[in-house]
Amino acid sequence: MEKRTLKKLSFFLLLFLFFFYTTSLFENWSTNNTFQKQAEITSQKCKTYEKTHTPKNPWELPPETLLDCFRVDEEYIWKHFFDHYTHYPSIFSWIPFQSLKYYHEAYLYNQQIRYILNVWFLTPIEMTYRKDLCEYRTEFCNTVEIESYKDKKELWENYTSWLMEKLPEYENVKKEFDDIPGKLNGATNEKRLNEFYEKKMKMLKENYENKRPERIMYDIDVLKALRRLAENNGVIFDGGLTTFEEFSHTDYLIEGIKIGIISSLQTLFVFVMYWKLRKRNSIKENQK
């Protein structure tokens, strides 16, 4: 009798574990589905902006706005955001609750990238892209007679050549940021941030080769932001305050309790059905 009872208990325990695993997979799928929908919405917004936004070449602008300090290379800047928002990885996992961790990391990476790329819009410590750009353009305007230029393309080319001489050499910039991979060791999203760093350094080199000084200035400030993030272990800081809390394993516990309750109710439902069936069969046997 005890052996039969033990077998029954083992069966319901296995049934509970089966429900627990399948329910956790459903939760992983649900988390991934929510993430992908959010990603698609953001991606569509970027694509819509890309279609409606048609940046002009500098020499196509009117003379009075050609060197306007607030007119930046938006096409280049927004390209970073397009690349980021149109390449979302799947966060689904066959391991229970793993998608929860992936979701956290993906969300944090999104915050990290936004912090890094927003140097053209915000000016936190060490990131003065628009301010420096304004000063350089003002200095150039004070050294030449812009009105004497009939060819706006020539004016822009002279300006970029002048600005290239003001900027540090590529090798010096590369050497300045060579320590970023080392500082990223152990940081949240270390692999992704390292891939971003490598891609950024490649773009920086191309901009030096193509003599695009304003893009170089943006690249340098982006690298400064990445280095600052690396020094803070990949966690976003703004004025010394953390703006995103570290992942808490309490979330795993809460998720486990929730799935455990659902699995218990499913197992209980099967047990009740089994008990009623056994009771009905027992009544029939007694009536014979």
The burial class, CB within 10 Å (0-12 / 13-18 / 19+), for 82 is middle
Predicted local confidence at residue 64, as pLDDT = 61
Query: Are residues 193 and 177 in contact, defined by beta-carbon separation less than 8 angstroms?
Result: no
Across the range 57-61, mean pLDDT stands at 67
Cross-strand bridge partners of residue 241: 238
Q: In DSSP terms, which residues pair with 237 in a beta bridge?
A: 242
- Residue 167 DSSP one-character state: S
Q: In the predicted model, what is the mean pLDDT of residues 66-72? A: 69
Rounded Cα distance between 189 and 177, Å, is: 19
List the beta bridge partners of residue 244: none
74/120 Cα distance (integer angstroms):
9
Q: 208: pLDDT confidence band, cut at 50, 70 and 90?
A: very high
What mean pLDDT is reported for the chain?
83
Q: pLDDT digits over 20-37, tens only? A: 999 999 999 999 999 888
58-64 long-range contacts, CB within 8 A, separation 24+: 58/152, 58/156, 59/152, 59/153, 59/155, 59/156, 61/152, 63/146, 63/147, 63/149, 63/152
CB 216 within 8 A of CB 160: no
pLDDT at 240: 46
For residues 173 and 215, what is the distance between their CA atoms, to the nearest angstrom?
Answer: 14
pLDDT in tens, 212-247: 999 999 999 999 989 988 988 887 765 544 455 556
Buried b (16+ CB within 10 A) or exposed e, 35-59: bbeebeebbeebeeeeeeeeeeebe
CA separation for the pair 60, 45 (Å, rounded): 27
d(CA 171, CA 208): 10
172: its two tokens: 């010096």
What percent of the chain is modeled with pLDDT above 90? 38
Q: What is the pLDDT of residue 111?
A: 84
Mean pLDDT for 38-53 is 75
Residue-wise pLDDT for 187-202, tens only, equals 888 999 999 999 999 9
* Sign for the pseudo-dihedral over CA of 99, 105, 111, 117: negative
List pLDDT tens digits, range 115-164.
888 876 654 444 577 788 888 988 988 888 877 777 788 888 899 999 99
